[in-house]
Structure 1
Amino acid sequence: MFTVSLFSCTGCVNLHYNDYAHTKVLLFLYVLSLYLYFNVIFPGYGTPRSEAINLLANTSYTKVEDYIIAHSKYKLSNFNYCEACNFLKPERSHHCKTCNTCVLKMDHHCPWFAVCIGIKNHKRFILFLIFSLMFTITIWIDSFRHVYMGIKTTSQEGNTKVQFKICYLLFIASVFILTLLVFTGYSIHLVLKNTTTIESMNIQDKLEKKELLMEEGRHIDLGHIYDLGYYENWKQVMGHKWYQWVMFGENDNIKILSSTFNGFLFPVNDEILERQQDLLNRGLLV
């Protein structure tokens, strides 16, 4: 991906060798995207075992289970444990067979990064998609303008002024834009709904199997227990303050909301929680 991006950046720099300001913008977006790419990989995604050490070191609890029971908004009759990891498997966590570990609030395993996207690198992943899309759009605009002017000049003078490499660059940029638009749009949509790729797939499976609850001939909307509204959902992933949304460090919310948002517990929608609890008590939800 970045080999193609480097070629693209080089091509656009050639287009603007007299426009130093424009060249600086292109190089800045490229370097920033490259930095975020590696920033997604190396800080890690957050595993129950590693984060449990940090949690217990900063609290008076000796077991994570005791901490969860003390701070959870709903009653827990039992805990899930991963047989492969031989460790606690908190809510929203999943075991990745490729990474061979459980991941806190696992979104998905990304083959382009060769790591999982989890609670600790989700924000960086979103920023990478956004800035990479901006970089690709800039390249597309530059290459399209060059091709358009080349065609216009050719029609006036009769000599071909369009370079093949720029046409190829325009094609590659178009493919990247369409791909990144889909990935970025879908990823932001999931953030705004406070759900993950895995959770959205589970919901879709239920819809396909028609496992919808019905009461008096009407579908019952269970809702999503972690959905706190677009703004709160966005802040939970991207940062508590607006200026933190473009900062590349770890999401400060993990520290600010340490008692309710640390990979072991998450803020929940009280209204939806009560609705689901009522359905559970009436035997309509299993």
Structure 2
Amino acid sequence: MYRSGAVMAWNVFKFCTALRGLGSIMILLVLGVVGVSYYAVVLSIYGPALTSGGLDSLIALVVLIMFHILLVMLLWSYFSVVFTDPGGVPPNYRPIVDEERGETDRLTGSEFNPLTTPDPTNSRIRYCRKCNQIKPPRCHHCSVCGRCVLKMDHHCVWVVNCVGAQNYKYFLLFLFYTILETSLVTLSLLPYFIAFFSDGEVAGSPSTLATTFLAFVLNLAFALSVLGFLIMHISLVAGNTTTIEAYEKKTTPKWRYDLGRKRNFEQVFGTVQKYWFIPTYSDEDLRRMPALQGLEYPSKPDLDSQEF
């Protein structure tokens, strides 16, 4: 029995190690798709079309401007997810009340004494046995990262990072701009993709045609797959849940963090509208909304006293 358990633990460890190694490859794959798309759209087709004159030049100019704006926003959002820590549990963290279970009775005595070791068997305290520390509300342990992550949504191999409280907005913007960029590339290459299978003669070298064909297929595939993923996350934001919490809610009659769609949206994107579509927050939001830091969250019983 012990041997079987040891083998299972070892296999899980190897799986988590493999996911960490796979992340670097996924970053190269993302940059590879960007490179192929850039070559097809900018260098092969619409860049040269700028000198053709007339309506073709105008269309090429519009496509190139939109392509580069969306590309900048996509890469900005992507690397913000990659390099932003999703949020970890501060050293010596101690809760005052058990917010996860909706309790209002303050923790007293040894439960909240920073000079004593917390009791992991205390049902009023969320405790991570792997990290040997108390877990804040909405915090979960990531086996790949080997630590607890604040408001963890999932571990994403595409960004070599966990998606959590402090980079979830950036992840959603990455999905959003990926859909816009891949849709633009797909539509701009569609006439050339159709011509590729027509009987007519298509201008360009075989390598250029092959790259255009590859760029069209890759961008169409990414646009369709990411669209479904974004729709799922929009529904999660609307209910103020994460992917993990959406599963847990099946056994929860009432979700105390559901504040209504507007407030739920602000818990992720902030209240300052000019910052909604860029991967950063205003200093005002960071100061007034502790939920963006991942440790404290307003809930239904607290709405009357909660200030943003």
For this structure pair, what is the TM-score category when the shorter chain's length is used for normalisation?
A: 0.7 to 0.9
Query: In structure 1, what is the Cα distance between the partners aligned to 2:292 and 2:96?
Result: 16
Alignment partner, residue 173 of structure 2: 127
Question: What's the TM-score, normalizing by structure 1?
Answer: 0.74
Residue 308 (structure 2) pairs with residue 270 (structure 1): no
CA shift for structure 1 position 86: 2.5
Note if contact 1:150-1:161 (Cα within 8 Å) is conserved in structure 2. Answer: no
Note if contact 1:68-1:265 (Cα within 8 Å) is conserved in structure 2. Answer: no
CA shift for structure 1 position 247: 2.8
Matching of residues 1-286 of structure 1 within 5 Å = 1-13=30-42, 14-17=44-47, 18=50, 19-49=60-90, 64-66=94-96, 74-75=104-105, 78-148=124-194, 158-160=200-202, 163-204=209-250, 206=251, 222-250=253-281, 253-258=285-290, 262-270=293-301
CA shift for structure 1 position 22: 2.4
Alignment partner, residue 9 of structure 2: none
Query: In structure 2, what is the Cα distance between the partners aligned to 1:27 and 1:234?
Result: 28
5+ unaligned residues in a row in structure 1: which ranges? 53-62, 207-220, 273-286
Query: In structure 2, what is the Cα distance between the partners aligned to 1:261 and 1:143?
Result: 40
Percent identity at matched positions?
A: 28
Query: In structure 2, what is the Cα distance between the partners aligned to 1:159 and 1:3?
Result: 29
| Letter paired with 1:144 | L
Note if contact 1:12-1:143 (Cα within 8 Å) is conserved in structure 2. Answer: yes
5+ unaligned residues in a row in structure 2: which ranges? 1-29, 51-59, 108-123, 304-308
CA RMSD of aligned residues (A): 2.9
Alignment partner, residue 5 of structure 2: none
In structure 2, the CA distance between the partners of 1:93 and 1:254, relative to structure 1 (3 Å rule), is farther
Deviations along 1:92-124, whole A, 9 cap, x unmatched? 100111111111111111111121111000111
Three-state SS of the structure 2 residue aligned to 1:16 is helix
Query: In structure 1, what is the Cα distance between the partners aligned to 2:143 and 2:106?
Result: 27
